[in-house]
């Protein structure tokens, strides 16, 4: 799959708990019935024997290439299968591709137009949600299954949380804010929304280094040495005035040491 998480035990303690929980929910989620229809009910009756049989769904696993992260495919992907053109002939492998199209889409929250590669299923979902912003904000990460979609969701939620939309139009800002404020979450959590494993680890490392900055030992030793000099003592505890005056060529002690004995 092109959109997935890969969190090892090495990085689990470094990352926030809410981010790890979201990743686990995404990885353990059942497949969505997009390319197949689940059977109604849990049991069926064999018409010949009258035996009660348990219904076992056999989902069709789609293939998501890297290009799926650059668009909004609505959960659709590539499907592998076999076809038989004539009776009693060998089955021929086939690959079914989603029908893709590029459409201009407008975001009210971000106030910008975007040309995005989408499927017709995505366009239907946008219509069902009454707008592009509602589709991005309402649709779960499992169904979006797109890095672009999650980046847009994070940007929209942060824009709403920081109330930075429409800076030159306060009236419209309040109107759009009231319309989508139900999707606001804490900024600390929204900043991690949709980050890839590599991005999340890099962000966690940067936060840890900022809280506990690593300084070179030479800087620490230099500061300590300067403090000792200001206090008038050498590193061994003796007074530093002696050797400091020796370094001064205009001091009386240096003149006396330079004089030759008679």
Question: What confidence category does residue 249 fall into, taking pLDDT thresholds of 50, 70 and 90?
Answer: low
Question: What confidence category does residue 1 fall into, taking pLDDT thresholds of 50, 70 and 90?
Answer: low
Measured CA to CA, the distance from residue 41 to residue 52 in angstroms comes to: 12
What is the average pLDDT score of the chain?
85
23-28 mean pLDDT: 88
pTM of the shown model: 0.75
CB burial of residue 77 (10 Å; 0-12, 13-18, 19+): buried
For residue range 112-141, list pLDDT tens digits in order: 999 999 999 999 999 999 999 999 999 999
Are 61 and 31 spatial neighbours (Cβ–Cβ below 8 Å)? yes
What are the boundaries of each domain within the chain?
9-34+59-211
- Say what percent of the chain tops pLDDT 70: 87
Are 93 and 103 spatial neighbours (Cβ–Cβ below 8 Å)? no
168-192 mean pLDDT: 93
196-213 mean pLDDT: 88
DSSP string, 199-252: HHHHHHHHHHHHHS----HHHHHHHHHHHHHHHTB-TTSSBSHHHHHHH-TTSH
| Number of CB atoms found within 10 A of residue 138's CB | 16
Measured CA to CA, the distance from residue 143 to residue 150 in angstroms comes to: 11
Residue count (the chain): 262
Q: Which residues, including other chains, have CB under 8 Å from residue 1's CB and lie 6 or more apart?
A: 64, 145
- 242 vs 164, more confident: 164
Cα distances (angstroms) measured from residue 38 to each of 42, 55, 57, 118, 195: 10, 9, 6, 25, 32
Question: What confidence category does residue 262 fall into, taking pLDDT thresholds of 50, 70 and 90?
Answer: very low
Nearest CA to 100 out of 123, 126, 132 is that of 123
Are 157 and 193 spatial neighbours (Cβ–Cβ below 8 Å)? yes
Note the pLDDT of residue 182: 94
Nearest CA to 181 out of 148, 133, 125 is that of 133
Measured CA to CA, the distance from residue 173 to residue 163 in angstroms comes to: 8
User: Residue 79 forms beta bridges with which residues?
Assistant: 96
Count CA atoms closer than 13 A to 126's CA, side-chain side. Answer: 20
Which is it for the CA torsion 85, 88, 92, 97, positive or negative?
positive
């Amino acid at each position: 799959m092109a959109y997935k998480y890969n969190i090892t035990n090495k990085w689990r303690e470094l990352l926030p708990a809410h981010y790890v929980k979201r990743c686990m929910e995404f990885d353990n989620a059942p497949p969505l019935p997009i390319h197949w229809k689940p059977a109604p009910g849990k049991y069926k009756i064999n018409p010949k024997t009258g035996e009660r049989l348990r219904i076992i769904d056999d989902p069709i696993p789609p293939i998501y290439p890297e290009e799926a992260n650059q668009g909004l495919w609505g959960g659709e992907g590539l499907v592998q299968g076999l076809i038989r053109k004539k009776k009693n002939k060998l089955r021929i492998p086939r690959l079914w591709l989603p029908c893709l199209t590029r459409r201009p889409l407008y975001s009210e929250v971000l106030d910008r137009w975007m040309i995005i590669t989408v499927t017709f299923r995505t366009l239907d979902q946008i219509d069902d949600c009454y707008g592009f912003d509602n589709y991005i904000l309402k649709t779960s990460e499992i169904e979006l299954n797109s890095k672009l979609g999650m980046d847009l969701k994070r940007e929209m939620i942060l824009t709403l949380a920081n109330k930075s939309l429409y800076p030159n139009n306060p009236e419209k800002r309040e109107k759009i804010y009231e319309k989508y404020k139900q999707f606001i979450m804490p900024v600390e959590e929204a900043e991690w929304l949709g980050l890839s494993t590599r991005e999340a680890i890099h962000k966690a490392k940067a936060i840890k280094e900022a809280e506990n900055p690593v300084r070179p030992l030479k800087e620490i030793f230099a500061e300590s040495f300067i403090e000792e000099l200001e206090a008038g003592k050498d590193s061994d505890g003796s007074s530093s005035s002696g050797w400091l005056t020796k370094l001064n060529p205009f001091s009386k002690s240096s003149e006396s040491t330079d004089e030759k004995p008679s």
